[in-house]
Amino acid sequence: MAVDVRLLGEAFDPAEAVRAFAAAHLQSGGVVSFIGQVRGGDDVEALELQHYAPLTLPAMQALGADIAARWPLDGVLVVHRYGVMLPGEPIVLVAAASRHRRDAFAAADYAMDHLKAESWFWKREKRGGQWAWVQPREQDYSDLARWG
Query: Of 5-13, 24-32, 38-46, 52-60, which segment contacts other proteins by CB under 8 A?
Result: 52-60
* CB-based contact 98:28 (threshold 8 Å): yes
Minimum CB distance to other proteins smaller for 79 or for 97: 79
List 11, 15, 55, 62, residue binding other proteins (CB under 8 A):
55
* SS3 per residue for the chain: CEEEEEEECCCCCHHHHHHHHHHHCCCCCEEEEEEEECCCCCCEEEEEEEECHHHHHHHHHHHHHHHHHHCCEEEEEEEEECEEECCCCEEEEEEEEECCHHHHHHHHHHHHHHHHHHCCEEEEEEECCEEEECCCCHHHHHHHHCCC
Distance CA 9, CA 120 (A): 15
Nearer to other proteins, 25 or 107 (CB): 107
67 binds other proteins (CB under 8 A): no
Q: Which of residues 86-145 bind other proteins (CB under 8 A)?
A: 91-92, 112, 115-124, 133-136, 140
Q: How far is the CB of 134 from other proteins (least distance, A)?
A: 5
Q: Give the nearer residue to other proteins in terms of CB position, either 25 or 57.
A: 57
CB of 60 to other proteins, least distance (A): 10
Which lies closer to other proteins via its Cβ, residue 99 or residue 124?
Answer: 124
Which residues contact other proteins (rule: CB under 8 A)? 36, 49-50, 52-55, 80, 91-92, 112, 115-124, 133-136, 140
